[in-house]
Amino acid sequence: MTGTTKARYDGSILSFQQKRGQESSAFFLPFLKSDMRLLDIGCGPGNITATLAAHVGAAVGIDIQTRSIAAADELVEAAGIGNLSFREADMTTLPFDDEAFDAVFFHAVLYHQDQPTLTRTLAEAMRVLRPGGLVATRDADVGGNILHPDLPGLRIALDLWQRWYEHGEPDVLNFGRRQGAILRAHGFLPVWTGASYVNHSADEETRRETVEDARRSLNSLGVRLIERDGATQAELDEALSAWDVWGAEPDAVYLRCRCECIARKPGAA
């Protein structure tokens, strides 16, 4: 997480982030070179940054959450990755010189930002990129999610997660498919777009883990939503029950859509 506030951070989110790495950055790897310097903005516990580091000369991850950076530092120490470092920083005021990086990466970050924060963040990404440098984004598109059985309680669960991040703009649910247009509007030149799915239903074990993750998250975030009148106990109960029903269905499907975009900063490559 990376905004100018830590209000929406939760330990259950960190736990989920630690499970993803290779699949989250696969679309960007063919564009990377061994002499590049890369910045991962909103790096979380550093798993994705570590994957990227294997394909570039140096990788730096930043996150505003102290706990995330602590987890990322532990990863570096345990894995002994020499070209990887992390620091706590705000994405709207990056502590780096102009044109310091050849590539900037955002994963599941921009979707959560209001328009002023998004504008400041992309301006900073533009500033720290060298001319011709690459920015890559991978973010949610709730309208592309695939659920079976598509239970009302599951839709309530998805809505509760949206409320947690206080997404007030109507187009936010389709943010992923608009990434190219958003980057272009902020001065970048899109060169590639695509999409992939996070498969939360590949087999019985995966479905069980999905239900456990969903229940852990809802029990944590849902209680606090209720405390600030952002949800009701009845909604939370229905959402939790629906995940149990979904998990008991042997042919259940949950494919979470992630749209991807790569763009260049104008100028000589």
Residue 1 and residue 13 in contact, taking contact as beta carbons nearer than 8 Å: yes
Residue 6 lies in a domain: no
**How many Cβ atoms sit within 10 Å of the Cβ of residue 70?**
13
Which residues fall within 8 angstroms of residue 228, CB to CB, at 6 or more apart? none
By three-state DSSP, how is residue 251 classified?
Answer: coil
Q: Is residue 2 part of a domain?
A: no
Q: How far apart are the first and last CA of the chain?
A: 30
Q: List the structure tokens of 84.
A: 């990887």
Residues constituting the chain: 269
Tell whether 73 is covered by a domain: yes
Residue 269 lies in a domain: no
Contact partners, residue 257, CB within 8 Å, separation at least 6: 140, 141, 142, 143, 144, 145, 146, 176, 195, 197
Q: Does residue 76 fall inside a structural domain?
A: yes
Residue 172, domain member (yes or no):
yes
Tokens of 199: 């498969």
255 assigned to some structural domain:
yes
| pTM exceeds 0.85 | yes
Strand partners, 59: 38, 84
Tens-level pLDDT at each residue, the chain (269 residues): 444 433 344 443 434 444 466 889 999 999 999 999 999 999 999 999 999 999 999 999 999 999 999 999 999 998 899 999 999 999 999 999 999 999 999 999 998 888 999 999 999 999 999 999 999 999 999 889 999 999 999 999 988 988 887 655 667 778 999 999 999 999 999 999 999 999 999 999 999 999 999 999 999 998 899 998 999 999 999 999 999 999 999 999 999 999 999 999 999 86
CA torsion sign, 149 to 210 to 179 to 189? negative
CATH label of the domain that carries residue 194: 3.40.50.150
Q: State the residue range of the domain holding 71.
A: 11-264
Please state the domain count of the chain.
1
